[in-house]
Structures are given as structure tokens and as C-alpha cells.
Chain A
Amino acid sequence: MPYTTALRIENLRMTYKDLAGERFSKPRVLSFFERESKDNEKELLVDANMELMNGETLCIGGPSGMGKSALLRVIAGLNRPSAGKLYYFGEYIPPERHTALEIAKRQVGLVFQNGALISNLRIKDNIALPLHYHKRGTPKEIEDKVNMAMDLMRVRSQANLFPHQLSVGMQKRVAIARSWAMDPKLLLMDEPTAGLDNYNRRNLLPLIDNMRILFHTSIIIVTHDLLMAKELNCNICFLHRQQITKPRPFDYWLNSDTDISKVLFRDLHRNI
């Protein structure tokens, strides 16, 4: 393979101002004429660095409000950071091309926290929509793929329902199935296990494992469910003091003497 890193972030700077998101009504060029204001108090991340190897799984943890979801949105191209460079599969994407559509071309998928299913389409059409749009194969192939995705996430029996008829956990499963059907090379998941019952959480973990092993997908998971990192046997990094910490395995954090361990891992000793 020509590249070994799936994603590299260099000197990322992110402020609250960036969280407004992309306006699809405006031509992208216009935002370059907007004034920049330097306000250190409102910064979420300052000169943060991160590297994700190909096929690696990484959990991002940290207290709420530290910008975890915002970081995912930046990586998916929905928000643009104030400064910093992002390399996708070794390719640098300059800020003027840093849009969601451009990054989606590099097969980066994002599972939203609330699922974000298209509410006027049935479940099976929701999953089939991007496949039809990008013309991934014949209608028969697409149907097979959709059925397979629904089987994997156990939503096949709800195929003809609309998203509002499903519970939040099921919507999330459909969202994961939709991302899975696109064969992403880098998958970003925002709280995949929040709202799932224990049974489906147990089912989700082998699925993530399979994607990692069979399809060599790189996965970034934003989660509060830190035990998931242990079960997936992957590294965790935290957003701490406007920085991204170095990724370390679960046991390191559990036994180390850092601030993060004291705050976030205090109760976990008892559970294990």
C-alpha cells in the first residue's frame, strides 16, 4: 500500500466559532473573506496532533463539552478548523477544498449521534440512497447489499418502516448499517453505543471488529463507554487541556497516575 496513515492531524486549532457548520447555500469561497478574530478563551483545541494508522481503531474519550463531536465533524469536513493541516490517506486537503462532499469522495463515513436518517424515506431506502446515488452496482447488487447491512444490524424486519416509527437505538443501528453499506475506508462513529441495549451493544462490537479485520477499515469512535476500548482492544486518547493526548491502551490509563485517570477511570476499578 502506498500510504500507511489513514488520517494525520497537524497543529489543529478549533474554536467555538467553527462549530456553526457548513452552509450549503453559500459558495465556499466567500468564507475566506470573513474576518478572523483571535480569542484564546473560546478555543477548544490548540495545536493538537493526532495520527491514525491504516486499519487501526481509536477511541476518543473525555468529558462532555471538550469538542469530541466537533473534532469528528471537522474530520468529516462538516466544519472547517481555524488552522491546522489534515491528511487523509497521506493526501493533504487544503482548507479551500475541505468540504464534506470532497472528503466523502475519499470514502470517509460518519455515523451521527442521533442517526440523522432521512425522515421521508423508508429504512431500506435510507440505506440504499447513497448506493443508488453513487451507482454502486446494479439494482440487484444494491438490494443484496442493503439486505446484508440490515441483517448485520438486525433491522431487516423493520425494512418498510419510517425512521420516526423506530426507537432511538434502532435508528442508530440503521445509521450504522447505512455507513457500513458504503464500504468506508475511514469510519467515524459518534457515540455508537449510547442508547443501545446491552444485547445490541454486544452485537455491535464484533461488527466493528469484523470491519477492522476483513475490510481493513480505520475507525475512530467517540465514546463515553470506555470499556468498549478494552473489549475492542484498541487505544484511547483524550481531549484534555485543549490537546489530544497520546493514544494509550485501556490498561495504561487505568493504572496510570494522570489527571485523566483520576477523573474518568476512578469508578472502573470496581467494575472490572
Chain B
Amino acid sequence: MKLTVGQQVALFFRAYASLFNRSRSFKTDTKNIIAQAFFTGVEIFPILFIVATLFGAVVIMEVLTMMGKMGFDDVMGSLMVVVVIRELGPILTAFLIAGRSGSSLTTYIGSMVINSEVDALATMGVSPIRYLIMPGLIGGTISTFIMTILFSAIAICCGFLATKGLSFMVGDIMHVKLTWSYLSSEILDAMSLTDFVLVIVKPLVFGSIITTNACYQALNIPHDIRQVPKATSRSVIKSFLYIVIADVVMSIFYFLDYMNELSKII
């Protein structure tokens, strides 16, 4: 376990280092990376859109009804930020991408390993890490970043619309008094600087974890076709594990931030 994490970190840095080796070509690299980002990001968009909308609607309704009942109307914005933007938005997006793009990346590279295409690349002097891993890693990370931002935006905007539509359809039985200006100003007020920084850092870390893990598991397959499905499931499950661990580690920063503010107040 310890060794595999070390090897994955090494693979990550080797992939980025390979950007600068002698055979670099801006045009081809950009083309490969964009193709990979397209594959990872755009094709997952319909599912992501639906999940984000429903998730956002559920969160808004729960928060409104529960908090309204208990008289905590003013923490609405902070709760939305914590639940959607800070924690579950990035994690759900990462899980979606790990389940779809991470597993397909593992199968793709794993089949190439089985058919000794990776060996063939190496004997032609084409570095597999540069030709296969690097575009997947960078493209996957970029698209995870974009998809996470989109997820949060969709969860709030379309979730708001869905809530409105629902309360319009079933009549105002929940006594929801919700306007866009109220929601948006609450959320923007609740966002802190740490939130902005970690909204950028989190998806980048998660994207790197998913793609590095997927590529690592694929390259680790021995020449045995039965290992491909095993490696695929390992890729997904271990991605989940690493993502949650990384999330906990990054939550410590929020905690430190919170403690600092607490000491200021006291």
C-alpha cells in the first residue's frame, strides 16, 4: 500500500516531466490533451447535469424546510456553500468521473498492455508514459476542474429552478419563500477566501488522483486478460478511497481557518 502510493506519485511526476523531453511538439500535445479532456468531460455532461440539478434541488428544499422550521434562516447560504460548493460538489463530480472516465482509461491502456502495444511503443522509442499517460493525466485533470465548477453552478442555478418548478406544481405546501436574489446574495456572502482557493485546488487534486491511479493500475497489469477487469475495479475503488482521504486532509485547512477566526472572536 505504502509502496503503491509512492509509485503513483512517481508516475505523476514522470508524466509531467515527460512534457519537457526532446520529442515535445506543442501541436500534437495540445491535440491529444484536448481529445482526452473532451472524452473525460463533455461526454459525461448529460449525466452530470441531471445529477447536479436533482442534487441541488434536494439540498435547497431540505435546507429551506428544515432550517425554516428551526428558525435558522440566516445560515441558509453557509449551508449551501458547505454542502454543495465545499464538500459534496467536488466529491460527487470526482466519483462520477472516476466511475466513468477513470475506468475507461484503465481498460483502454490495460488492453494495450495485454496486446503488447505498449511494448511495441517502447521498442520504437516512443515513451508510453509520454504518449499514453501524459495526455490522459493532464486532460483528465483539466476536465475534472471544469466539471466541478459546472457541477456547483448547475446545482445552485438549476436546483433553484427545479425547486421553483416543484413548488409551482404541487402548490405552495412547503411555504417556501425563495427568490434568486436572496439565494445568490446569501451564498456569495458566505463564501470565504479559503473557499475560493480550495474550489480551485480540490478538483485539481481529485483529477490528478483519478487519472494517475487509473493509469497506474493499467500499466501494472501482467500479461493476463483476466487482470483487466480486476484492474478496472481496483482503479475505481482505490480512486474513491484516495479521494476521500485527500478530502479529509484538505478539510483540515478549513478547520485551521475556523480555529483562527474563533481565536479572533474570543
Complex contacts, A269 vs chain B, CB 8 Å: none
- State in angstroms the CA–CA spacing of A27 and B3 once bound together: 11
> By the criterion CB–CB under 8 Å, are B220 and A116 in contact?
no
> Is A26 at the interface (CB under 8 A from chain B)?
yes
> By the criterion CB–CB under 8 Å, are B123 and A134 in contact?
no
Complex contacts, B120 vs chain A, CB 8 Å: 110, 112, 116-118, 175
Interface size on B, residues (CB 8 A): 31
* B10, B14, B112, B119 interface centre (most CB from chain A within 10 Å): B119
Bitwise, B151-192 to A at CB < 8 A (1) or not (0) is 000000000000000000000000000000000000000000
**Contact among B3, B10, B117, B124 for A119, CB-based, below 8 A:** B117
> By the criterion CB–CB under 8 Å, are A100 and B119 in contact?
yes
> By the criterion CB–CB under 8 Å, are A24 and B123 in contact?
no
Complex contacts, B126 vs chain A, CB 8 Å: 129-130, 133
Complex contacts, A118 vs chain B, CB 8 Å: 112, 117, 120-121
> Is B116 at the interface (CB under 8 A from chain A)?
yes
> Is A124 at the interface (CB under 8 A from chain B)?
no
> By the criterion CB–CB under 8 Å, are A134 and B118 in contact?
no
Assuming the A-B contacts A109-B123, A135-B23, are A24 and B128 also in contact, with contact meaning beta carbons closer than 8 angstroms in the complex? yes
Consensus secondary structure, chain A interface: loop
Expressed in whole angstroms, the minimum distance between the Cβ of B121 and any Cβ of chain A is: 7
> Is B251 at the interface (CB under 8 A from chain A)?
no
> By the criterion CB–CB under 8 Å, are A24 and B122 in contact?
yes
- State in angstroms the CA–CA spacing of A107 and B25 once bound together: 21
> By the criterion CB–CB under 8 Å, are B219 and A129 in contact?
no
> By the criterion CB–CB under 8 Å, are A133 and B125 in contact?
yes
> By the criterion CB–CB under 8 Å, are A25 and B219 in contact?
yes
- State in angstroms the CA–CA spacing of A110 and B118 once bound together: 13
Complex contacts, A135 vs chain B, CB 8 Å: 23, 25
Complex contacts, B118 vs chain A, CB 8 Å: 24
Return the chain B residue nearest A29 by Cβ. Answer: B10
> Is A20 at the interface (CB under 8 A from chain B)?
yes
> By the criterion CB–CB under 8 Å, are B127 and A101 in contact?
yes
Complex contacts, B219 vs chain A, CB 8 Å: 23-25
> By the criterion CB–CB under 8 Å, are A25 and B220 in contact?
yes
17 contacting pairs across A/B (C-beta < 8 A): A22-B119, A23-B219, A24-B122, A24-B128, A24-B129, A25-B216, A30-B3, A78-B119, A104-B125, A112-B120, A114-B115, A119-B115, A119-B117, A130-B124, A130-B125, A132-B28, A178-B124
Q: Which 9 A-B pairs have the closest CB atoms?
A: A104-B125, A25-B219, A100-B122, A116-B120, A130-B124, A110-B123, A116-B116, A25-B220, A133-B126
**Apart from A78-B119, A116-B119, A116-B120, what 9 extra A-B contacts exist at CB < 8 Å?**
A21-B222, A25-B220, A110-B120, A117-B120, A118-B112, A118-B120, A129-B124, A130-B125, A182-B124
